């Protein structure tokens, strides 16, 4: 007697069946897919500019292929070490100061028992996120003005000399990072507040029955519950180490602090748009993106091996 075995449907067939059974779900996600295809994948066609001596008149395909000459020029330039040092140092400083701030803020807000005070604190800490970069830099300029600024008025009241912080090279990184923490900590705490809200209440009840105080509950329940979320966000942030925001740096930048404020994004702007060196600026930007991608893959692999928490 010959037995026949029915072949299992392939994954593609199962996926097509699921799409046919749930067309509304895929219609909802279609605009998002179209956005990423139009603005993130199709522009990759222009990456080849970094390997050509691009001319607007000749177009991409008509421009001469030069290989890695633009990358070599960037690596051998006087600005390479300065740009790399400033970009990495600002990013690491921002990560060290800005990453734990939303976690600490969420833990503190979660400990508030008065609902009105809790809502007021949340509103106050969320509000700076909605300020534009131009407004934020304008506030910094006014607050740190040498004669009329609030900070220097306080310094004068205690007998200290006035300082023009905005033109001091050593002050740029601290001003940039700390103002960013003030602006983004409240908004970043939302995801941690959601994670805290998802903790099973029976864990708190069991801890109180066992005699745990608020600090013990915080240490043994709240913080471990936030770790998976924190690790995922840390992995994502590692993919932006080489990306220091252009707008804020550009608005704060001046000739006096160029030595410490010049980063890759501002250099790409000067090379590409101001000096019309399109191929060279594309090569610098591509180098920046490749390093970010490698950092993301590396940190994700380390996290998967050490803590078994990763993006994929």
Q: How far apart are CA 128 and CA 174, in angstroms?
A: 18
| 232-241 pLDDT per residue, tens | 898 888 888 8
Q: How much of the chain exceeds pLDDT 90, in percent?
A: 48
State mean pLDDT over 158-185: 92
Flag whether 6 is in a domain: no
Report whether 231 contacts 309 (CB < 8 A).
yes
pLDDT for 22: 84
Confidence of residue 7 (pLDDT cuts 50, 70, 90): low
Q: Which domain holds residue 189?
A: 75-306
- Give how many domains the chain has, as a whole number: 1
Give CA separation, 83 vs 40, 173, 179, 268, 276, in Å. Answer: 26, 14, 22, 11, 19
Question: pLDDT digit string (tens) for 143-156?
Answer: 999 888 899 999 98
Task: Determine, yes or no, domain membership for 223.
Answer: yes
User: What CATH number is attached to the domain comprising 223?
Assistant: 1.10.3720.10
86 found inside a domain:
yes
The answer to whether position 32 is within a domain reads: no
CA-wise closest residue to 204 among 183, 233, 225: 225
Strand residue runs (E) in the chain: 52-55, 63-65
Domain assignment present for 14? no
- DSSP assignment of 240-280 equals TTT---HHHHHHH--GGGHHHH--HHHHHHIIIIIS--HHH
Q: What is the mean pLDDT of residues 43-55?
A: 89
Angle 115-126/100-110 helices, nearest 10 degrees?
160
Q: Is residue 43, in this structure, part of any structural domain at all?
A: no
Residues 63-88: tens digit of each pLDDT: 999 999 999 999 999 889 999 999 99
CB half-sphere exposure, 257, CA atoms < 13 A: 22
| Assigned domain for 236 exists | yes
Residue 1 has a CB neighbour count (10 Å cut-off) of 2
Q: Do the domain assignments include residue 263?
A: yes
Q: With a cut of 50, say whether residue 299 has pLDDT above it.
A: yes
């Amino acid at each position: 007697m010959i037995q026949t075995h029915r072949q299992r449907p392939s994954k593609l067939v199962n996926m097509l069946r699921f799409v046919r059974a749930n067309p509304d779900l895929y219609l909802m996600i279609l605009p998002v897919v179209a956005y990423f295809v139009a603005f993130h994948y199709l522009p990759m066609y222009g990456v080849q500019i970094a390997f050509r001596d691009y001319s607007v008149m000749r177009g991409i395909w008509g421009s001469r292929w030069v290989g890695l000459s633009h990358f070599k020029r960037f690596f051998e330039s006087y600005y390479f070490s300065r740009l790399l040092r400033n970009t990495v140092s600002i990013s690491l400083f921002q990560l060290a100061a800005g990453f734990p701030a939303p976690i600490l803020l969420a833990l503190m807000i979660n400990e508030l028992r008065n609902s009105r005070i809790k809502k007021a604190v949340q509103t106050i800490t969320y509000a700076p996120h909605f300020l534009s970069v131009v407004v934020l830099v304008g506030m910094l300029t006014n607050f740190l003005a040498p004669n009329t600024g609030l900070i220097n008025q306080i310094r004068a009241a205690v007998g200290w000399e006035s300082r023009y912080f905005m033109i001091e090279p050593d002050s740029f990184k601290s001003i940039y990072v700390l103002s960013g923490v003030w602006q983004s900590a409240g908004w970043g705490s939302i995801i941690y507040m959601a994670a805290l809200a998802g903790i099973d209440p029976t864990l708190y009840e069991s801890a109180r029955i066992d005699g745990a105080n608020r600090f013990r509950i915080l240490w043994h329940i709240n913080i471990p519950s936030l770790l998976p979320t924190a690790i995922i966000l840390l992995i994502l942030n590692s993919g932006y180490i080489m990306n220091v925001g252009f707008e804020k740096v550009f608005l704060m930048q001046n000739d006096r602090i160029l030595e410490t404020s010049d980063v890759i994004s501002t250099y790409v702007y000067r090379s590409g748009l101001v000096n019309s060196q399109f191929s060279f600026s594309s090569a610098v930007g591509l180098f920046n993106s490749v390093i970010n991608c490698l950092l993301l893959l590396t940190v994700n692999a380390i996290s998967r091996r050490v803590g078994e928490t990763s993006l994929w």
